[in-house]
Amino acid sequence: MLIFIGTIMDTHTVWEALRYDDTYLDDAISFNFPIPFQLNEREALNYLKSHLPEDERQWISYANNKWIIDIDFFKTKYNDTINALLNQPEKSRNEPRGENTIYSDLYLDTKLTLDIISGVHFVEPEVTERNQRGETQTTVKFILTYEKLTEMRSKKIFLSHKSANKTIVKEFSETLKIIGYDTWLDDDVLNAGEKLHRGILNGFKNSCAAIFFITPDFVDEKYLATEIDYAITEANEKGDKFKIITLLLKNDKGIGKVPDLLKQFVYKSPKSDLEAIREIVKALPLKPELIG
């Protein structure tokens, strides 16, 4: 288990990192924020919301009654330390520590890898209390287990479409969710103020497939070409674990035309929405019966 302990010091956070092994704990990555007072759950969460330094708000945020953790952004700040935790032998507690830096403490077995530790996740925080040196310390913990990290990567499907087709794509999204998949739609995932390209890129990185809904409204504009490029990159990197699915759909203007960049992949022209769902499920790398 990888544990990152962030002690908030006014406008910045001092980080400590360690690997901890306990037979009764799941293999996971945990972001822990000690609170300097003994507070109940509601008070502790409100304290964290109001005192979280600006630097940390770039990767952990609270919006629409949900806590969101962008591990990819966290990795850009502390990638070397995470890599050290995963791959380096034990380091001494006596090593000098720089200001505001993370250091490695223990080396114990973990199934986590840099590739698995990724993505943007909704996390339900845990508020715990622990007696330390005669005082009760409250801590807010955000825990992502190995199972959740791998499950989210394998179940998520990126849905690429034109805004004009959003209504029908949302219907496909709801059907896929009923089956057990998780879908990526810009309206549902992107937060106000988040950079569009970064949000879309994270969506692809967290997905096992990209579905392109091609209608006459689907024009190969710049951002759509970018989405195709992202999908091809993921397919090259993940191999059989990522699929590109192209559906040619009809509307009152006729039938869509496959963009040149997608012609190298198999595409289907379903005669009905039901047939389209069948084609999607057949092509996905994770079958419904394997979804937990």
What confidence score (pLDDT) does residue 94 get?
Answer: 46
> So where are the chain's domains?
2-149, 161-290
In this prediction the pTM is 0.55
Q: What is the pLDDT along the chain (292 residues), one digit of tens a residue?
A: 889 999 999 889 999 988 775 555 678 999 999 998 899 999 999 999 999 999 999 999 998 889 999 888 898 888 888 888 777 554 444 455 455 555 444 445 677 887 788 778 889 999 999 887 778 889 999 999 988 887 666 688 999 988 888 899 999 999 999 998 889 887 665 554 456 677 788 788 888 999 999 988 776 566 678 899 999 999 998 888 899 999 999 888 888 888 888 888 889 999 999 999 999 999 998 777 656 5
What is the reported pLDDT for 116?
80
Question: What superfamily would CATH give domain 161-290?
Answer: Toll/interleukin-1 receptor homology (TIR) domain (3.40.50.10140)
Structure tokens at 56: 């940390």
